[in-house]
Amino acid sequence: MTASPSAQREIRLNGATHPIPAAMTLRELVLSIGCDPQAVAVEVNGEIVRRSRLAGTQVVAGDTVEIVRFVQGG
């Protein structure tokens, strides 16, 4: 039996289980949680992903993703 294109998958996002659609890029993931791709650092399975590669990098079921937001303070 093959999975349908609309099947949900799971990743670990910032330490918690997070469902994602069958096809999703890191940029789409960042946007889906309400973040600006230009204002975050993204790590996948222990490797930093450059912002320029977010749109071309697919999220794979079982990935561990950490998204860190940059916050200005004073």
Per-residue pLDDT, 40: 97
Given a cut of 60, whether residue 4 has pLDDT beyond it is no
Percent above pLDDT 90 for the chain: 81
Residue-wise pLDDT tens digits, 38-66: 999 999 999 999 999 999 999 999 999 99
Q: pTM for this one?
A: 0.85
Question: For the chain, what is the mean pLDDT?
Answer: 92
Domain ranges of the chain: 9-69
Contact 14, 67 (CB under 8 A): yes
What mean pLDDT comes out for the span 28-33? 98
Q: For the domain 9-69, what is the CATH superfamily, name and number?
A: Beta-grasp domain (3.10.20.30)
Q: Is 40 exposed, middle or buried (0-12, 13-18, 19+ CB in 10 A)?
A: middle
